[in-house]
Amino acid sequence: MSHPNWKRVVIKVGSALISPNQQGCSSHYLLSIAQFIVRCRANGTQVVLVSSGSVAAGAHLFPEQEKTNIAVKKAMAAAGQTEMIATWDRLFDFPSAQMLLTHADLRDRERYVSIRETIFSLLDNNILPIVNENDTVTTDKLKVGDNDNLSAMVASAAEADALIICSDIDGLYDKNPHEFDDAKMLKSVETIDQSIYDMAGGAVKGGVGTGGMRTKIEAAEKAVSHGIDTYIINGFTELSFNMLLAGENPGTHFKPHAKPMQENVHWMRHTSNAQGEVIVEGDFDASLAGDAEQLTSSEIIDVKGEFSVGDTILVRKEDGTKLVKAKSNYSSCLLNFIANQENDDFAHEFEEKTGPIISDQHIANLEKE
Ligand SMILES: Nc1ncnc2c1ncn2[C@@H]1O[C@H](COP(=O)(O)OP(=O)(O)O)[C@@H](O)[C@H]1O
Ligand SMILES: N[C@@H](CCC(=O)OP(=O)(O)O)C(=O)O
């Protein structure tokens, strides 16, 4: 876990560190983070920064206005983003670049590949990518919604060795320490299961953070399955960064999987989301479900939702068992038409000509996990 072994890290910085009192940006806590980034780069480690804080930084420009009003929140993000980027940029004597992303960008394979290329191109030219969600254009359907999950998606896209989530708290506790005096911190987590999720609560009500600990666990789960060492650390203190540089663990460490998922399978499982569902017969052989050719219209009982060619779909049984997530080669409309044909020969011939319903190149078998 020693730092000098990392070729590439993603550092996620929460709103409380950027705009502690929601009166614009403060470099107070950012100085030690910036210094850490400088030292990583000096050690030959490439860095991608995922920075929250645009809403918090812009909030003071909208006095008397409710943060719960979505249009106002988007405007706060638009105004705060420029100040946030300018604040980071002032702390470095090398160039930085702004990347504003949405889930709609990341879940589209073509755009995802393009995002990867941009990140690698920036890093190859010693430019620091600074990523945030493009809050001004998002809707519920388009957004990731929190920068913890966004940072894990970025870490996977960037093929990072480590994801460091800098928060306002020392790490993951067995219960929220703001509510329970006897909460104890976990130094390391080997396996992320329900018991770990049960420990994690949301963000403080009325606070600046968005996701709380729950979204950090979701992020850790995404990252470790890609083989990425993940840490939740206290970003308020310089000691955390000195410890990381010394190869020590200053917070909670989530152990990466020894056998990480392949990049395209990981993307399908953790970044792409299903636009619709295909329900298959109960005796459909789940062990073969990862083989695209196995899914034919005769297995299909129902098609739910509206999707287009190229969208991700979930293939599941009637009892809810999830089998695979895959790229659909058929639209929901066409699939409904084929699946509802009385004449099996027609459907069979159609599929022979048109090709398999799901793509064998973009598929994640959910049962094997
Ligand atoms: N089990 C837990 N351990 C640590 N913090 C927790 C836990 N459950 C809930 N939290 C809350 O999560 C907060 C950190 O998340 P958040 O406010 O979203 O910060 P950030 O801006 O860094 O993303 C903590 O300050 C704490 O109030
Ligand atoms: N994109 C938002 C941050 C959302 C978010 O997840 O915030 P945080 O929980 O502080 O990491 C912003 O820039 O304000």
Pocket of ligand 2 (CB under 6 A): 14-15, 52-56, 77, 132-133, 135, 146-147, 209-211
Spacing, Cα 238 to ligand 1 middle (Å): 19
Are 15 and 55 a contacting pair, CB within 8 Å?
A: yes
Pocket residue to mutate for ligand 2, from 11, 61, 210, most atoms within 8 A of Cβ: 210
pLDDT value for 206:
66
**E strands within the chain?**
8-13, 46-51, 96-101, 128-133, 162-167, 188-189, 229-234, 252-254, 276-280, 300-304, 312-317, 322-328, 358-365
Per-residue pLDDT of the chain (369 residues; tens, 9 = 90+): 445 579 999 999 999 999 998 899 999 999 999 999 999 999 999 999 999 999 999 999 999 887 788 999 999 999 999 999 999 999 999 999 999 999 999 999 999 999 999 999 999 999 999 999 999 999 998 999 999 999 999 999 999 999 999 999 999 999 999 999 999 999 999 999 999 999 997 766 667 767 789 999 999 999 999 999 999 999 999 999 999 999 999 999 999 999 999 888 899 999 999 999 999 987 777 566 556 677 888 889 999 999 999 999 999 999 999 988 999 999 999 999 998 988 888 888 888 888 889 987 778 888 655
- C-alpha 362/C-alpha 287 separation (Å) is 17
Q: Is 135 annotated as a binding residue?
A: yes
Ligand 1 within 6 A of 207 CB? yes
Measured in whole angstroms, how far is the alpha carbon of residue 151 from the centre of its chain? 5
pTM of this structure: 0.91
Question: ∠ CA 94-97-101 to the nearest 5 degrees?
Answer: 155
- C-alpha 170/C-alpha 151 separation (Å) is 19
ipTM for the predicted complex comes to: 0.97
Q: Is 147 annotated as a binding residue?
A: yes
